[in-house]
A and B are shown apart, each in its own frame.
Chain A
Amino acid sequence: DVKVTQSSRYLVKRTGEKVFLECVQDMDHENMFWYRQDPGLGLRLIYFSYDVKMKEKGDIPEGYSVSREKKERFSLILESASTNQTSMYLCASSSPYNEQFFGPGTRLTVL
């Protein structure tokens, strides 16, 4: 089975902190994605990556950056966390042109 894991299920941070969300997949997928999920808005794409060291902005990249140093790992970075970044963050991976497989999500609260 495809497995996508995320470093934390729940995270509480303070405004201004630097936050790292880690995602690891074990299926050798080329593509990896970071979404945030908010009530009434569905999932919105933050960043995605087609290959190691490659990244592309999604629909809402402001306030976020990403890092992909290894094929299996895709990190989302909040440089200076703000309260409006309180959300559920979901990571996904896929092979080209196939369905995406999702991790369990990280519920981030910024106080």
Chain B
Amino acid sequence: AQKVTQAQTEISVVEKEDVTLDCVYETRDTTYYLFWYKQPPSGELVFLIRRNSFDEQNEISGRYSWNFQKSTSSFNFTITASQVVDSAVYFCALRLIQGAQKLVFGQGTRLTINP
């Protein structure tokens, strides 16, 4: 069975600080996808990124970056120079490439950016 753990339940930082959200996953399969979703106060989950298990390259998109390390089964998400609009609940998720296409989610991290 697959499992995703986001140990940080809540994080609160001051605007312009950098913040890293941790994600650790467990799976016996060697082929899988990892995802990050953002859930703003409106409630709708917004897709941020998908990485597959073959590609350990880090990714940067504007102020967002992701660090994927298979050796530690981690897929961490960093926001640089945080802004109030980044306040949301962030979910990490895993899905196997073969078989059922269901997502397994972590518990979520509530990020609050204070002005």
Contacts and interface: CB of A to CB of B under 8 A. Distances in A.
Interface residues of A, number: 28
Interface in B3-53: 4, 6, 9, 35, 37, 42-47, 50
Q: In this complex, which of A35, A43, A44, A107 has the most chain B Cβ atoms within 10 angstroms of its Cβ?
A: A43
Interface stretch (B55-63, B66-74, B77-85, B102-110): B102-110
A7 B102 CA distance: 23
A40 B107 contact: yes
B44 A103 contact: yes
A31 B43 contact: no
B88 to A, nearest CB: 13
Interface of B: 4, 6, 9, 35, 37, 42-47, 50, 91, 93, 97, 100-103, 105-108
Given A41-B107, A42-B4, A102-B46, 14 more contacts: A33-B102, A42-B107, A43-B45, A43-B103, A48-B100, A48-B101, A88-B43, A90-B45, A100-B47, A100-B103, A101-B47, A104-B42, A105-B44, A107-B43
